[in-house]
Structure 1
Amino acid sequence: MASSEATPVEEEVTECGLCRNAVSSFCRQCKVNLCDSCIPNHLRAKSKTGHVIINFTTKYDDDDSCYCESHPQYECSSYCKTCEVPICLHCTAHKSHQISELSDKIEELIKVIARESDKLQSFRHQLETVLDHTTKQLSSLPSFYQKRKDEVTAKGQEWYRQIEKTVKNLHQELDDLKKENKAVLLKQKGEIEKMIGTAVEMIRKATNIQTSKNVKQMEKFKQEIAQQETLKEFTQYTFPTFHECKIDGHYLQTYFGYIEKMKQRKMSLSENKFIPDTDSGRKVLEVPSVSSVIDTGFPANKNSNRLYGMTVTDDQKVWMGGNSYELKLFDLQGHLHRAVTTTDQGMFICMYNKQVVYSDMNNKGVKKISDDDTVVTMFKTGDWTPVGITGSASGDLLVCLNKGDQSKVVRYSSTGTVLQEIQYDSQCQPLYQYAWYIAENVNGDIIVTDFKKKMAIAVDGLGIFRYTYSGKSNDDDHSVATDSVGHVYVTEYKGNNIHMLDRDGRFLRYIIPEGGIKYPRSVCMIGDGEMIVGEEKTGLAKRIKFLEEQYRFVQWLPV
């Protein structure tokens, strides 16, 4: 049985319109196909419009008309969907095929071409944006690197001043010791000279009396010379010694600073993902604005404290803990989405593997809230009380632990395996008195606020001391947070402000929003140029915009 499906017409060889040879050219005026041998005869033929001979393969390039491949002298009026070619009224071979109006096909093609053209236009604009940024980066390259050199030079000059000050202090100490040393030696010299003088006098008397026969004088001198004091011991003074410390180049650079290498980040042009350039000149708003306020509704204790810990989820919601055995999940508009009963107050919480984790001080452990709102113990901390807690870029948990007068930071795996302990500096002195809140910076620094020392203390990822920051008023430092370019933010509880530092702990400025903040405790970054700050006594969480609008690519790489 023959198939009822129509089959495409086999491709035919286009012939010359004057003979049966293969076509090579086309007369645009006469609309006739020509072979090479027929061109001279055709040009000699009379024509009212003349002759225009063009290459057959390009005959449609500059002509809006669509001529039939099989019948070049006729314009196409239909479209064969089976063969996917335009046809004219004389194309009888396509009668059994699926035919549509040529205008419908043209309209379809115009839509496709317009859509692709729009995509290409968008792609061009995106490339121009990247080109503009790359060009600006190139033009700012000399000034940028000179600025970095100036920073290194300034650090070196600071060290020179510190070294000169140290040398001056040691010189002064030596001068003072020299005076003290001279004084005691002169005193000792005088005492010894006096004793020698007395001994010489007694020896002279003893020599003279030995020739005398006066027994009474001899008896008297015998008692006198027997009572003469002799020196059984004396004090020997040694000169001071300069104990030169060996300079370790690696240790020196750790304290001096280091150059963070150029970063590369693959970014898709189809995604509007921008992050701020670290040196884009982006400024902090003179008066940061409060875009929304969330009333957490936590009750007050006897000290009127309500709101404690906060942490931000990937989908821009905020878990909050306060003066109750409950954690609450709010969106940034203040709508409550979840409320979970816990085994301790939510003073110290963080996000870890997309789940909220908190320190259970009552039961000395770290716990998480599962997807079904049940509390799961991750691991115990022995006889140490866990407080500040944060996830790290390495996928571990950093926890502040306190026991009596001891304090430390411990890096745990998800199963509670101790991976690292940070407790002492290079001189074996305790780093912390009472580690409180904790955050990890983009360069790997671990920043801890110390409740008793009233300062922020930073170490690098290896636990080597980096810097301390005690603020301008040495007031209470509570929570700490960092942003995507390495800035550090510390809340000053009684000072009612937030300190903005660079990644090396240098003060940049205060963040005080319009209307102010009262008793700020917890702080979290919620996006580019925005933070959310919790007021402990009011129970309000304020969303603060503090950076001016400005977005740039860091670097674009094809994906």
Structure 2
Amino acid sequence: MTFRLWLPDVSCSRKVLEVPKIVRHLETKFPVNEKYKCRLYDMALTADKEVWMGGSNGEFKLFDLEGNLHGHRTVPVKSEGLYICMHNKHILFSDVADKAVKTFSSNDTVVTMFTTGDWKPYGITSSASGDLLLCLRKDDQSKVVRYSSTGTILQEIQYGSNYQPLYHVAWYIDENVNEDIVVSDYKKNAVIAVNGLGIFRYQYSGKHRDFGVRSITTDSIGHVFVADLKGNKIHMLDRDGRFLRYIIPDGGIEHPRAVCIISVGEMIVGESMTGIAKTIRFQEEQKDAVSPAT
């Protein structure tokens, strides 16, 4: 789903704010999807700290963090949602109906990079190795597939060591800094992680019954952040899937669906139904070192 901003490993020494702060609101103005009542589906951060937003009716919008619009594209979509990521400085998206991964040419024409056979693509992310990781579904099956940028299948992950399916309805996906592949599963209502070889690592199912898993992202030291649409919060986990804390900012968030880390201790959260994206500071800002008196 996201471009990972590689950051210095300093966040572990920073205090997590007891009450995180909303520092900016961004109005995407996506129209509501009348069938699903959603406006915003996914986000992807560029290397220049701008954010592509994927909205209803096949709209893409590129904003800076101050809320200024820098790009707008529309594609025909025949199914719910837009699932997007940055790859080699280009925006990519899963076309569920066409069973394809697509991008835009220099003149904004939609270009098919590769197709996914009989499987429908959903969540998509770019890995540190330069490959693409996709959540694929067919009938009642789900799997994760690693592709080269030309569409060559490099790895398939579908079953655990007991030959039982790892996923029921794979949805959003990200790669952690330790090469774990982290997936949100709609039907299991859980986050499932495997290592780079596809071996099961952990499953996180929330702490309360109102958990509603949506997108996931990670930071440069391996924290996992899970958007909880029903609980109106972000879950913060360590790299082994252990719960650390909730992130609920002063003023709250409504139906969070998309989440990206934009700097150390700062994230942007997209609200599904309002279409508003909120920048949230959840850790103390770095204070400049003070030289001792001489």
Q: Structure 2 length normalisation: TM-score?
A: 0.92
Are the equivalent residues in 2 in contact too, given 1:327–1:346 (CA < 8 A)?
no
364-373 or 507-516, which moves further after superposition?
364-373
Q: Residue 274 and residue 494 in structure 1: after superposition, are their counterparts in 2 closer, same or farther (change >3 A)? A: closer
For 1:515, which of 231, 251, 259 is the aligned residue? Answer: 251
- Aligned equivalent of 1:327: 60
Does residue 307 of the first structure (1) align with residue 40 of the second (2)?
yes
- Aligned equivalent of 1:485: 221
- Aligned equivalent of 1:412: 147
Does residue 435 of the first structure (1) align with residue 173 of the second (2)?
no
Cα deviation digits, residues 256-302 of structure 1 (max 9, x gap)? xxxxxxxxxxxxxxxxx97233642x111111111111111111122
Are the equivalent residues in 1 in contact too, given 2:11–2:264 (CA < 8 A)?
no
For 1:291, which of 23, 26, 29 is the aligned residue? Answer: 23
Q: Matched residues in 2 for 1:549 and 1:541: separation?
A: 21
User: What is the deviation of 1:549?
Assistant: 1.6
Q: How does 1:404-553 map to 2 (within 5 A)?
A: 404-474=139-209, 475-550=211-286
User: What is the deviation of 1:527?
Assistant: 1.2
Cα deviation digits, residues 449-486 of structure 1 (max 9, x gap)? 00000000000000000000000114211110000110
Q: Residue 416 and residue 289 in structure 1: after superposition, are their counterparts in 2 closer, same or farther (change >3 A)? A: same
Does residue 396 of the first structure (1) align with residue 127 of the second (2)?
no
Q: CA RMSD in A?
A: 1.7
Structure with the bigger RCO (C-alpha within 8 Å, sep 6+) is: 2
Q: Matched residues in 1 for 2:16 and 2:117: separation?
A: 44
Q: Residue 337 and residue 350 in structure 1: after superposition, are their counterparts in 2 closer, same or farther (change >3 A)? A: same
User: How many pairs were matched up?
Assistant: 280
Are the equivalent residues in 2 in contact too, given 1:276–1:551 (CA < 8 A)?
no
Does residue 387 of the first structure (1) align with residue 122 of the second (2)?
yes
Q: Matched residues in 2 for 1:399 and 1:483: separation?
A: 20
For 1:364, which of 84, 93, 99 is the aligned residue? Answer: 99
Q: Matched residues in 2 for 1:369 and 1:456: separation?
A: 31
Higher normalized strand content (fraction of residues):
2
Q: Runs of at least 4 residues of structure 1 off by over 4 A?
A: none
Q: How does 1:53-72 map to 2 (within 5 A)?
A: none
* Secondary structure at the counterpart of residue 324 of structure 1: helix
Larger Rg: 1
Structure 1: runs of 5 or more not aligned: 1-272, 553-559
User: What is the deviation of 1:550?
Assistant: 2.6
Q: Matched residues in 2 for 1:370 and 1:503: separation?
A: 37
- Aligned equivalent of 1:250: none
486-495 or 284-293, which moves further after superposition?
284-293
Higher normalized helix content (fraction of residues):
1
Amino acid at match of 1:518: E
Q: How does 1:274-285 map to 2 (within 5 A)?
A: 275-277=8-10, 279-280=12-13, 282-285=14-17
Among the aligned pairs, what percent are the same residue?
Answer: 62
User: What is the deviation of 1:363?
Assistant: 0.5
Are the equivalent residues in 2 in contact too, given 1:326–1:346 (CA < 8 A)?
no
Are the equivalent residues in 1 in contact too, given 2:182–2:191 (CA < 8 A)?
yes
Q: Residue 336 and residue 502 in structure 1: after superposition, are their counterparts in 2 closer, same or farther (change >3 A)? A: same
Q: Matched residues in 2 for 1:417 and 1:407: separation?
A: 19
Cα deviation digits, residues 185-239 of structure 1 (max 9, x gap)? xxxxxxxxxxxxxxxxxxxxxxxxxxxxxxxxxxxxxxxxxxxxxxxxxxxxxxx
